[in-house]
Amino acid sequence: MKIDTNKRMWMVKASGGDLIEEFLKKGEVFVNFSFFDDLKKYKTVDEIKNNLNKFRNPSPNRNVFSQLYKIAHEMKVGDYVLTYDPKIRSYYFGEIISDYGFEDTGDYDPKHYRKVKWLNIDNPLKRDLLDDITKYSLGSLMTVTEISRKEVRENLFSTMLMEKKDVSDSVESMEYEPSDDLIDIEENLKEDIKAKILELSSEEMEEFIAGVFRGIGYKTALRGSHTQADGGYDIIVSKDDFGLDKDTILVEVKHRKDTKISSSSVRSFDSVLNNKNRKGIYFSSGGFTSDVQKEFKNSGKLSFMDLDNLVNLIFQYYDKFDLQTRSLLPLKKVYILDRRFYSK
């Protein structure tokens, strides 16, 4: 991969990863923000701001105007773009290959987009390879941000090329201005927690998942050990001590951080649920392939949990976790100002 270190670079968030598949399949990045008009006719941020009648939401977030302006006017053909897939905790890196485009298909939200040639689609950049400054800087509250900090760009380029000395020398000669975009502390904290969860062994992961369900208010029972067959599921989750109530849930746990679970693997678990007439939850630390939700979305008895779902449950129920579960993931609560409400 050849990289021109003098090009501008942008980060475009994919709505918590929900849009990643569309970004990659269609070769583009886009935002919505419910603005129903072609942005080419608006030459300044103030012009966008003065046309609130074009928004579905009459009171959009104050940062929306500048982000729309960035994707329409500041991004240029040849600029680099990053987007993050939280399911695999990795970044996709590409080059913008089109001018701004507007698409109103009559759906709830139109698209303001740029076409992208993805350069590392077969080998996305793992977040854990980056240094801490870069990790936290890329976790912005904004959907569209420019990556302009010298040390962040240097670490990104050197990590992608694995030629730290050459890239460092090239980046050193460039001029940068600090970004004024707000850092999303909560998002960065979640990513740090994910990294720690991935360090758990398979057995510890089963114990931790069971502890999360106990924190929610269920009784749990682990099935056997890794040295013997478990009958196709790892945890029994129920409201009684014996797993006899009609709402008992069976949980399968797959702790493979670099492997997405496919439909073929889920079918085996689905058969177990059918045989036992139970509902189930399938947890995968590596996430799921796109065909899984399509095949099982109407099953009525099977739900899916990935790292994002797990971390959200941790944030919600950690105070109710028992000591055994907390020992597997020690955390402490802190309160910070929500800077979205203090920005100018």
pLDDT tens digits, residue range 314-341? Answer: 999 999 999 999 999 999 887 766 655 5
The encoded tokens of residue 102 equal: 């507007």
Tell me what pLDDT residue 2 has.
79
What are the chain's domains?
Answer: 9-183 (3.10.590), 197-328 (3.40.1350.10)
Identity of the amino acid at 316? Q
C-alpha dist (Å) from residue 261 to 146, 159, 169, 288:
34, 28, 42, 5
Give the per-residue pLDDT at 68: 94
Query: How confident is the model at residue 230, as a pLDDT?
Result: 53
SS3 338: coil
Element (H, E) at 81: strand 80-85
CB 123 within 8 A of CB 33: no
CA distance 21 to 225: 36
- 196 close to 165: Cβ distance less than 8 angstroms: no
The pLDDT of residue 232:
82
Q: Is residue 9 pLDDT above 70, yes or no?
A: yes
Top-confidence residue, 86 or 102: 102
According to the 3-state scheme, what is the secondary structure of 216-249?
HCCEEEECCCCCCCCCCCCEEEECCCCCCCCCCE
Give pLDDT tens digits for 58-82. 677 778 899 999 999 999 999 999 9
Q: Per-residue pLDDT for 116 more than 70? A: yes
The answer to pTM > 0.85 is no
Compute the half-sphere exposure of residue 86: CA atoms within 13 Å on the CB side of its CA. Answer: 24
pLDDT over 70 at 280, yes or no? yes
Does position 243 have pLDDT exceeding 80, yes or no?
no
The structure tokens listed for 134 are 């870069």
Comparing C-alpha atoms, which of 217, 189, 216 is closest to residue 332? 189
Answer yes or no: are the C-beta atoms of 15 and 111 closer than 8 Å: no
Determine the Cα–Cα distance for residues 289 and 267; give it in Å rounded to an integer: 13
Could you give the CA distance from residue 218 to residue 325 in angstroms, rounded to a whole number?
14
Amino acid at 187: E
Cβ distance 102 to 111 under 8 Å?
yes
The closest of 12, 81, 65, 36 to 343, measured between CA atoms, is: 65
Mean predicted confidence (pLDDT) in 156-165: 72
Mean pLDDT across 195-216: 93
Location of structure tokens 């080419």:
40
Which amino acid, 19?
A: L
φ and ψ at residue 184, rounded to 5 degrees: -85, 95
Looking from the CA of 187 toward its CB, the CA atoms found within 13 Å total 20
Tokens of 340: 């979205």
Average pLDDT of span 247-261: 88
> Is the pLDDT at 165 greater than 50, yes or no?
no
